[in-house]
Amino acid sequence: SAATGTTGPTTAARLTPTTVCKEIVDFTQLGSVLFASVSVNNLKFPTDGLEKKLSLSTLPTTVSIIFKHGVIIHNVSVLNPSESRVISISAQTDLDFEPINNPNPAIPVVVYNPHEEDVRELDITILKIKDPSLPTKLQLAIYGCTTPSTISTKPLIETTSPQLVSTTQPSTRSGTTRNGCTEIQLVDEAVSKNIIVTPNPLPIGENIKFQPTSQQGVSFGENDRTPTITVNFGKPAEVQSVTLPRDRTPNGNVAQFEVTFYSPHGHKINHKPILSSSSPNENKKKPAELDSSQIPSNTRVSRVVITIVSTTNGESPKGVVLDIQACTEATTETTNVTPVSTGFTSGSRGTGTGTGTGT
């Protein structure tokens, strides 16, 4: 398989993937379970060390991972491109002939399309940042799964549509919240700059249009019918509602979405995505939303993953803005996690090569 945006084959010819991920996870948050070993610039590193931000003191820096078992990999991402200033990364598995670079400097993501199966080794190399000043703090994510299921021969829409209709719950949001909770907007400029969209990354600067104050919103291409939007919060928060308004942009058309919430430790809070209410085509003022009766509103959340399920006109999502409300209590009480310092000398260099052997 090859990464999006590259030219020519980067891996040996293999059969079309026969499995698909039931549940995509971030491997960096499960390192102690999934990683046999981790090294940074050839120096041994804790297997759970990638849960926190990595402090880079030299470029290039290579993070080398050996998995305990074969995994499926969908993409490798820098979750904080604005803070880290990273513009160029590469990824190389034991199935790749050579490293694959991110094609767009504004989006430090390497996407495997189609995904790679039975990956045993992975090297991620940080190649460039916007300016030469170091150190910088980097949060990596490796998205994929360990327990794939066989791809169905039926189109996905046939099996999921009836279920989506039958499980839809009308919103009961009344505008009130639990005692002692004053709501604030989580999707500000800083958070929006670090929003990651898959499978097709957004153009440079586009993600700030996810802010609820945007008059344009984010519009997706014709082939992006069900994009997934990953929102990482600067601090964990008690989320009270998630809404995708249609009346704030001229062409807003999101009818329904689903959400998975993640704890500060990177674990799923809800194992099955929670389906939003449905926004009727004729009423833009009644948006698709989740309220506090449907979500874990007393639980601290560090990340939400939103997948748009359908639109009011059957086209790709247009004019998308995110309105995520949370209690101020959780955000004011929480302190930032201290980044991991790797303490490398300026002479350290990563090899950036994959062995191709697999273990």
Is the separation of the CB atoms in 28 and 50 below 8 Å? yes
Asked if residue 144 and residue 77 are part of one domain, the reply reads yes
The span from the CA of 157 to the CA of 190, in Å, is: 35
Instruction: Give the CATH number for residue 205.
Output: 2.60.120.260
Residue 11 lies in a domain: no
Q: By residue range, what is the domain housing residue 160?
A: 156-333
Do residues 144 and 213 share a domain? no
Assess whether 96 and 63 both reside in one domain: yes
Domain boundary residue among 151, 169, 185? 151
Write down the pLDDT at residue 156: 33
Q: Residue 262 corresponds to which tokens in the numbers above?
A: 């993640």
Residues 6+ apart with CB under 8 A from 289: 171, 173, 241, 242, 243, 244, 276, 277
Same domain? 83 vs 181: no
Please report whether residue 341 resides in a domain. Answer: no
Per-residue tens of pLDDT for the chain, all 359 residues: 444 443 344 555 555 666 777 778 899 999 999 999 999 999 999 999 999 999 998 999 999 999 999 999 999 999 999 889 999 999 999 988 899 999 888 889 999 888 888 899 999 999 999 987 888 899 999 998 887 665 543 333 322 222 222 222 333 333 444 456 888 999 999 999 989 999 888 888 899 999 999 999 999 999 899 999 999 998 889 999 999 999 999 999 999 999 999 888 788 888 889 999 999 999 999 999 997 788 876 788 999 999 999 999 999 999 999 999 998 753 333 333 333 333 333 333 233 333 333 33
Domain co-membership, 275 together with 301? yes
Establish if 349 belongs to a structural domain. no
Please check whether residues 319 and 220 belong to one and the same domain: yes
pTM, two decimals, is 0.49
Rg of the chain over all Cα atoms, to the nearest angstrom: 20
How far apart are alpha carbons 188 and 193 in whole angstroms?
A: 9
356 in any annotated domain: no
Residue where one domain finishes, among candidates 121, 151, 181: 151
Note whether 173 and 138 are same-domain residues. no
User: Do 199 and 319 fall within a single domain?
Assistant: yes
- Is residue 311 located within the same domain as residue 243? yes
